[in-house]
Structure 1
Amino acid sequence: MLLANLLTFVSFAAAGAIPYENVPKSTCTNPVKRVEWRELKAADKQSYIDAVLCLKTKPSRLGLKTSLYDDFPYVHHKYNLITLRECGYTGYATYWDWTKDVKKLAKSPVMSSKLGIGGDGSDTRTETLDGKTIRCVNDGPFKNLRPSYQSRSPTELLTASHCLYRELTDGESEGSIISAQYYNATYVAIVQKNAKFETYHTALEGGPHGIIHSSMGGEMNPATSPNDPVFFFHHAQIDRLWWQWQQANPKARLSDYSGETANLKNQQRGKAALKDLLLMGGLAKDVKVEDVMSTTGSVLCYKY
């Protein structure tokens, strides 16, 4: 799957399907069930939050002068659940079903100041980052979190300690109403009806995936969006939708992967394939796309 227990983040690019029989045989016999943030017990929510904060106290595994937390936005990857285990978290990976919070993202339990990630950026607490004024999150457990990197472009990274910042498009504003059309339950149901990965990927990426990034604003807009803890909840939700789409026709869709690859540094593009490697950037062992197409295959072991 796109987002996995290795918790890598990849875009929905890919290539021609291979026969279903060639998909790796499952070695997963007891998959864990991922749950929505609202379903977690209070103690598990607190443990998750504490573990994320703990990553900021751990040294970089990439030889950087920052922290283990900063390794993930540095290479645009997701936390490894095993890494959270090292910080004491024993619960499940979790996701945010934002279809339950249409036009009221800021009021979602995910954004609670007590057992959530905190709210919108503050008008009274601001900083300057790369010549721009940013609105700092001023409540919740991550209000003092200071990410170390900010992307200027997909290929240019700025080293600059700064506050966690957000700028939500929410409520009854015109922008919020327009955005909500592309992540509500009705629209998601339409997206899920796409029969082929090629069109499904386009609809999901161009709709809910991108819209939530822009609706959250702030850290969620640049390539260093893993700076914001909400990144991980959001991408687990995207993974969940893809999982549901696959389950509707597993024989065809567990090997339906099409599109192209892109090298951002030299702008080279090519036809992607299931044999391609997903590069972990040194945070974990590289894996083949085909090995993580199923959440209950040779590498992963979970369900929704």
Structure 2
Amino acid sequence: MHLSFATALLGPALLVAGAAIPETNVTAPPVPLEKLPKHKPKPKQEDDFRVAAAATGSCTNPRVRIEWDSYSNDDKHAYINAINCLRSRPASGQFPPAGNRYEDLVRLHQTLTPNVHDNAKFLIWHRYFVWVFEDIMRSECGFDRALPWWDEGRNTGRFAASSVFSDEFMGPVAINNNCVTRGAFANSNLNIGPTTENYPHCLSRAGNSQWTSQLTEDLVNQVNSWPDYKDMAYYAEGTFHAYGHLGVGGVQEDKYASPGDPWFWLHHAYVDRNYANWQGMDPNSRLHYINGNDINGNPLNLDVYVYMNGLRPDVPIRDIIDVQGEKLCYTYQY
């Protein structure tokens, strides 16, 4: 059974620039909450995690990814400005029809979506994808702050009240699938999507507290209590990952082109933080092991490559399985 956070049935009519994506027919992820395990998860072994991580590479001073509410106002503006810097830079030409450098990332995600969703490669590929986004902002837009993540479990059912979705930062979320006209990304025209098509449309959202109210820390703990990677990854993709996309709605319901809404990065940093915490529960095994299959049924192992199609070098999973390894060298505030 394949996981899907949204099934977009858009019909043949094209959208004009400035129009919102029509409301999609959403197929709920096939992971009923009552089927999640109820046993108590093993606590994170902080000391063991640090020792094991330090042994895997030369990462001696990892960047600490800061939760949004602990981010200073100055840092928040620097982050938003770096995103808009990418949106103002020309596209590389490697990912047509991307209209700017930021859309190179969106187009890459759209192209690889069938390969990196609904299978065990989901978490590890998106881990590297978020790091690549950060690396591009640092190298091309001078971003020199910690990358933020957003603790959705602390905002259960009340996304609209967060400063994330304020007019000062990312603009409103509860706008009934209409175009975002306030905030740092107001009146954005997107060229990648909807789904596998590419034509101009606006950045839309449709906040839904029915989904966000299920994004609890207890849910994350239940998912992370699965001891086997492939099982944990299956439930991670189909529960808190999916509920976040559905809870913000609009462009976020589009599995292919969801990075078109910059909220995507806060969300996937949250997903990656939950994965890193799962690894920290048993670092001696989980920092050196992966299982499950790719979309073609081939088994994953540490020598399987994660591809970025020229945006950044392709890497074997062993290079990115540990966030405190030599390649990635970051950690989370908590």
Q: TM-score, normalised by structure 2?
A: 0.72
Task: Give the Cα–Cα distance (whole angstroms) in 2 for the partners of residues 179 and 109 of structure 1.
Answer: 16
Q: Does 1:83 align with 2:136?
A: yes
| Equivalent residues of 1:62, 1:283 under 8 A apart | no
1:269 to 1:190, Cα distance in 2 relative to 1, 3 A: closer
Deviations 1:244-301, CA, capped at 9 Å, x for gaps: 1111110011123111112xxxxx4322222111101211010111110001113111
1:257 to 1:289, Cα distance in 2 relative to 1, 3 A: same
Greater percentage in helix = 2
Residue 282 (structure 2) aligns with:
249
Letter in 2 for 1:168: G
Q: Does 1:119 align with 2:172?
A: yes
| Equivalent residues of 2:179, 2:187 under 8 A apart | no
1:30 is aligned, of 61, 68, 76, to 61
| Equivalent residues of 1:122, 1:138 under 8 A apart | no
Which runs of no fewer than 5 residues in structure 2 stay unpaired? 1-51, 110-128
2:74 is aligned, of 43, 53, 56, to 43
Task: Give the Cα–Cα distance (whole angstroms) in 2 for the partners of residues 62 and 260 of structure 1.
Answer: 32
Which runs of no fewer than 5 residues in structure 1 stay unpaired? 1-20, 124-133, 171-175, 263-267
1:208 to 1:215, Cα distance in 2 relative to 1, 3 A: same
Residue 283 (structure 1) aligns with:
311
User: How far off its partner does 1:219 sit?
Assistant: 0.9
Task: Give the Cα–Cα distance (whole angstroms) in 2 for the partners of residues 188 and 122 of structure 1.
Answer: 27
Residue 139 (structure 1) aligns with:
182
Tell me how large the CA RMSD over aligned residues is: 2.0
Task: Give the Cα–Cα distance (whole angstroms) in 2 for the partners of residues 89 and 298 of structure 1.
Answer: 20
Deviations 1:75-110, CA, capped at 9 Å, x for gaps: 115452232122232101110111111111111121
Deviations 1:52-79, CA, capped at 9 Å, x for gaps: 0111111112433521011111011545
Residue 106 (structure 1) aligns with:
160
| Equivalent residues of 2:158, 2:212 under 8 A apart | no
Residue 293 (structure 1) aligns with:
321
User: How far off its partner does 1:24 sit?
Assistant: 8.4
Give the SS at the match of 2:197: strand
Letter in 2 for 1:143: A
Residue 217 (structure 1) aligns with:
249
Task: Give the Cα–Cα distance (whole angstroms) in 2 for the partners of residues 149 and 296 of structure 1.
Answer: 33
Percent of aligned pairs sharing the same letter:
29
Task: Give the Cα–Cα distance (whole angstroms) in 2 for the partners of residues 103 and 220 of structure 1.
Answer: 17
Deviations 1:14-48, CA, capped at 9 Å, x for gaps: xxxxxxx9x98311111111111111111111111
Greater percentage in strand = 1
Moved over 3 A (4+): 62-65
1:93 is aligned, of 110, 128, 147, to 147
Give the SS at the match of 1:303: strand
Alignment of 1:142-161 (within 5 A): 142-152=185-195, 157-161=196-200
Task: Give the Cα–Cα distance (whole angstroms) in 2 for the partners of residues 61 and 37 of structure 1.
Answer: 30
Q: TM-score, normalised by structure 1?
A: 0.79
Q: How many residues align?
A: 256
Task: Give the Cα–Cα distance (whole angstroms) in 1 for the partners of residues 213 and 87 of structure 2.
Answer: 33
Task: Give the Cα–Cα distance (whole angstroms) in 2 for the partners of residues 82 and 193 of structure 1.
Answer: 32
